[in-house]
């Protein structure tokens, strides 16, 4: 019996003035790396409010896809949600983290596909 999960991480790309991909920074990077080292298949989609290189970035076993919002937030958020929806179809669980926006997007999409959701609100230690 396979006990490994296909985990999709949904987060923003920059927080605390550091970049998840460029700076290899933070727990939102480190936790997926640890899960991948334990044999889980982990991928992530991260949203950047700043102009960054979009596309696929592989980081020590975790495959991140970066999407920029662009000048107008709505088209960028729509692309981000569409990519998340497509990726979520093949995952066992969605981990939405960082800001409440990602929790809301994760909740809506996970409900549509009947997938479990873990919501990790950054800096909420309750």
Distance between CA atoms of residues 9 and 95, nearest Å: 5
pLDDT tens string 74-100: 888 888 888 888 998 999 999 999 888
pLDDT score at 4: 92
In three-state secondary structure terms, 117 is strand
pLDDT tens string 18-66: 999 999 988 899 999 999 999 999 999 999 988 888 889 999 889 999 9
pLDDT score at 2: 66
For the chain, domain boundaries: 6-121
What angle do the packed helices 100-113 and 73-88 form, to 10 degrees?
A: 40
Query: Is CATH 3.40.50.2000 the classification given to domain 6-121?
Result: yes
Q: What is the pTM of this model?
A: 0.89
């Amino acid at each position: 019996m396979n006990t490994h999960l296909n985990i999709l991480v949904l987060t923003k790309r920059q927080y605390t003035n550091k970049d998840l991909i460029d700076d290899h920074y933070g727990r939102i990077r480190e936790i997926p790396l640890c899960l991948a080292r334990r044999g889980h298949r982990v991928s992530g989609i991260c949203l950047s409010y700043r102009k960054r290189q979009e596309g696929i970035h592989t980081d020590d076993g975790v495959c991140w896809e970066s999407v920029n919002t662009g000048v107008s937030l709505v088209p960028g958020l729509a692309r981000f949600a569409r990519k998340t929806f497509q990726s979520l179809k093949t995952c066992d669980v969605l981990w939405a983290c960082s800001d409440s926006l990602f929790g809301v997007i994760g909740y809506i999409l996970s409900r549509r596909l009947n997938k479990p959701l873990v919501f990790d609100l950054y800096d909420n230690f309750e």
